[in-house]
Amino acid sequence: MADDLPPLASLRAFVLVAETGSLSAAAARLNVTQPAISKRLRELEARLGEPLLRRGANLVRPTEAGAAYASALSEAFARIRAATAALPGQARPIRVLAYTTWALRWLIPRIPHFRAEHPGLEVEVSTSTDARAIAEAPADVAVRTAPADHPPVPGAIRLQPVLLTPFATPALARAQPLSAMRLLASRIRPNDWAQWQAAHGLEPGAPPLVFESTTLAIQAALEGMGAVVCSPSFVERELRRRALRRLAPDVIPAGDHYWLIRPGGTARPAVDAFTGWLLREAAPEGAEAPLP
């Protein structure tokens, strides 16, 4: 008897488009072209005799029937992933390599959310400040920065923009204006203050005090040594407990992005689950500021 299931590649493409609302995002996730995704969707709709998606100028949304179908398929794919992850060869941790500050201040606080969604999957995080090493790492997932319109390696997926706004301790903020504060910067991102000043029409002041990483610059700001400029997501805990205060109401895009890289190797459902979760987790920050 002929197999009456639609092609799994078409089903997977449909689910990703329904989840992301984007043909290009689905194409990047599957490492195929956008026309290939469009073809799979057309063939699936023709086979089922049912329109599954509404196509707009910049967005794709499932129809009512498509939404129900996508939900059922997502559950089926989740069961397949869980069954595959239970195999002995799939049990090793998901290896992630990224910049120190992003890993320490963005990723690690969110890993409990991932484990709550995917019990039994472990994430092993390593850090580096070497962009080439990150791009070529023997890891399942790597995250590094590059210009917003220039992926660092073929197949890289844009994850979230690098955002900038200044912070200092409440005591320092009460004692002096930002223009009088010592500026704290990172060796990895030495031009962030100049970009922030230029975006606000300010003349550059004294050169910042430079630290090895943004993590160290944030710690120096916590000690009252001056003001640090970084992403608000890097200091969420300090803002909640009022150890730092935001010194400007806006954030500016630095012009580059964090990019998600799959360096290669055997495909693993656990890694697919992690990268999908990572893209969803980063999406709100991607909407916080427009591209420059």
Q: What is the pLDDT of residues 182-196, one digit of tens each?
A: 999 999 899 999 999
Residues 44, 50 contacting (CB under 8 angstroms): no
Looking at the 3D structure of the chain, how many domains does it have?
A: 2
Which of 51, 85, 119 lies at the terminal end of a domain, its last residue?
85
Asked whether residue 242 falls in the same domain as residue 214, the answer is: yes
pLDDT of residue 109: 94
Q: Is 255 left (phi over 0), alpha (psi -120 to 50) or beta?
A: left
Whether residue 3 is contained in a domain is answered as: no
Asked whether residue 81 falls in the same domain as residue 104, the answer is: no
Residues 263, 137 contacting (CB under 8 angstroms): yes
The residues pairing with 92 across neighbouring beta strands, listed in sequence order, are none
What is the tens place of the pLDDT at every residue in 204-240?
888 999 999 999 999 999 999 999 999 999 999 999 9
Asked whether residue 103 falls in the same domain as residue 224, the answer is: yes
Asked whether residue 212 falls in the same domain as residue 111, the answer is: yes
Average pLDDT for the chain: 87
The residues pairing with 185 across neighbouring beta strands, listed in sequence order, are 210
Q: For residue 237, how many other CB atoms are within 10 A of its CB?
A: 11
The residues pairing with 246 across neighbouring beta strands, listed in sequence order, are 167
Asked whether residue 119 falls in the same domain as residue 46, the answer is: no
Contacts of 29 (CB under 8 A, 6+ apart): 16, 20, 157, 275, 276, 279
Closest-CA residue to 105 (of 191, 196, 230): 230
pLDDT of residue 34: 87
Domain that holds residue 53: 8-85
What is the tens place of the pLDDT at every residue in 107-159?
999 999 999 888 888 999 998 877 666 666 678 899 999 998 888 888 889 99
Which of 85, 100, 119 lies at the terminal end of a domain, its last residue?
85
| Helix axes 64-85 and 269-286, enclosed angle (nearest 10) | 130
Asked whether residue 132 falls in the same domain as residue 262, the answer is: yes
Asked whether residue 259 falls in the same domain as residue 178, the answer is: yes
Whether residue 240 is contained in a domain is answered as: yes
Task: Determine phi and psi for 18, rounding to 5 degrees.
Answer: -65, -35
Q: What is d(CA 238, CA 218) in angstroms, rounded to the nearest whole number?
A: 10
Task: Determine phi and psi for 65, rounding to 5 degrees.
Answer: -65, -40
Which of 23, 55, 85 lies at the terminal end of a domain, its last residue?
85
- Count of alpha carbons within 13 Å of 108, Cβ hemisphere only? 15
Q: What is the CATH number of the domain that holds 70?
A: 1.10.10.10
pLDDT at 292 over 50: no
Q: What is d(CA 153, CA 173) in angstroms, rounded to the nearest whole number?
A: 41
Q: What is d(CA 261, CA 62) in angstroms, rounded to the nearest whole number?
A: 28
